[in-house]
Amino acid sequence: MDYYSKPINKLIEELTRLPGLGAKTAQRLAFHIINMPEEHVQSLADSMVNARKNVRYCKECYTITDQDICPICKSDKRNHKVIMVVEESKDLAAYEKTGQYEGVYHVLHGVVNPQLGITPADIRIKELIKRLEGDIDEVIIATGSTTEGEATAMIISKFIKPIGIKVSRIASGVPVGGDLEYVDEVTLMRALDGRIEM
């Protein structure tokens, strides 16, 4: 039975389609949006449409950007000989918040997960290997410490070691099963500083 008007039910239905957003959260968010001033709602809607139309993947590291090459990859102040491999753009953002990492990144857009049918071919490993044809000294693997993150790290390491490039893994300090997005900057820096060669 529908308790609300059609527009509210439609909004709740659309919000429920967002990954990770349950029905109760969608309902709370819908009511929050409805109670916002109309100009704020319009601004939010315009921002979402604009982001969807203009955001793309960087042609080098595959993070999200509104340019062909993201500002990190463009920067001559970054060490382009060190590449940190992360699962998602949000993980890149977490390391950037520390202000300490001076290399560049490579965003995989996922991890290998056989149960979900995600293989190395489904994430951006081949693009990483292509990047390694350049002048690269080290690849830091900063995938999460979940089973899938660890398996992905091992697969990447096996691809890179024969090339002769140093491969390291972020150290523990990032909690097992933890999502990098929610780890504080100090813990992230300790994990980066204590990385080990694979």
pLDDT digit string, tens, across residues 64-103: 999 999 999 999 999 999 999 999 999 999 899 888 899 9
Decide: 82 and 126 in contact? Cβ < 8 Å: no
Task: Please count the other Cβ atoms lying within 10 Å of the Cβ belonging to residue 12.
Answer: 18
pLDDT-derived band at 27 (thresholds 50, 70, 90) equals confident
**pLDDT band (50, 70, 90) for residue 60:** very high
Q: Rounded to whole angstroms, how far apart are CA atoms 192 and 190? A: 5
Q: Can you tell me the distance from the alpha carbon of 129 to that of 156, in angstroms, rounded to the nearest whole number?
A: 9
pLDDT computed for residue 1 by the predictor? 41
Indicate whether 173 pLDDT > 70. Answer: no
The region of weakest confidence among 25-29, 78-82, 135-139 is: 25-29
* Cα–Cα distance for residue pair 17/14, rounded to 1 Å: 5
Q: Are 85 and 101 in contact (CB under 8 A)?
A: no
pLDDT at position 118 is 87
What lies within 8 Å, CB to CB, of 184 at 6+ separation is none
Domains identified in the chain and CATH numbers = 6-54 (1.10.8.420), 57-197 (3.40.1360.10)
- Residue 61: is its pLDDT beyond 90? yes
The two three-digit tokens of residue 142, written as one number: 């900063």
Least confident among 5-14, 110-119, 177-186? 177-186
